[in-house]
Homo-oligomer: A and B are copies of this chain.
Amino acid sequence: MERPRHQGMAKNTYMRWRLPLVCLLWEVAMIVLFGVFVRFSPEADAHWEEEKQEMNLTSDIENDFYFRYPSFQDVHVMIFVGFGFLMTFLKRYGFGAVGFNFLLAAFGIQWALLMQGWFHSFKSGKILIGVENLINADFCVGSVCIAFGAILGKTSPIQLLVMTLFQVTLFAVNEYILLNLLHVKDAGGSMTIHTFGAYFGLTVTRILYRPNLEQCKDKQGSVYHSDLFAMIGTLYLWMYWPSFNSAISDHGDAQHRAAINTYCSLAACVLTTMAFSSMLQKKGKLDMVHIQNATLAGGVAVGTSAEMMLTPYGSLIVGFICGIVSTVGYVYLTPFLESRLHIQDTCGIHNLHAMPGLIGGIVGAITAAAATEDVYGKEGFIKAFDFTGAYQTRTPSVQGGFQAAGIVVSLLIAFAGGALVGAILKLPVWGDAAAENCFEDDIYWEVPEDEESDAYHMHNPDKPASP
Copies in the complex: 3
Of A5, A67, A311, A451, chain B has the most CB atoms within 10 Å of the CB of A451
From known contacts A16-B283, A46-B257, A268-B110, infer whether A459 and B60 are also in contact, taking CB-CB under 8 Å: no
Mask, A54-69, CB within 8 Å of B = 1, is 0000111111111101
| Interchain CB contact under 8 A, A236 and B459 | no
A183 within 8 A of B: no
Instruction: Count how many chain A residues have C-beta atoms less than 8 Å from C-beta atoms of the other chain.
Output: 167
Q: Which of B28, B130, B377, B462 contacts A5 (CB 8 A)?
A: B462
Known A218-B454, A225-B451; contact A129-B88, beta-carbon cutoff 8 A: no
If A232-B81, A263-B134, A267-B110 touch, whether A27 touches B459 (CB-CB below 8 Å) is: no
A291 at the interface (CB under 8 A from B): yes
Residues 239-295 (chain A) with a chain B CB within 8 angstroms: 239-240, 242-243, 251-257, 259-260, 263-264, 266-268, 270-272, 274-276, 278-279, 281-288, 291, 295
A188: interface (CB < 8 Å): no
Q: Which of B278, B446, B455 contacts A15 (CB 8 A)?
A: B278
Tell me the bound Cα distance from A216 to B458 in angstroms: 11
A340 beta carbon closer than 8 Å to chain B: no
Residues from chain B with Cβ under 8 Å of A26 in the complex: 271
Contact yes or no, B455 A442, CB < 8 A: no
Please pick, from B19, B30, B271, the residue contacting A106 in the complex, using a CB distance under 8 A: B271
Contacting A259 at CB < 8 Å: which of B16, B61, B69, B252? B69
- In the assembled complex, how far is the CB of residue A215 from the closest CB belonging to chain B, in whole angstroms? 8
CA distance A400 to B26 in the complex (A): 32
Measured between alpha carbons, how far is A449 from B264 in the docked complex, in Å? 35
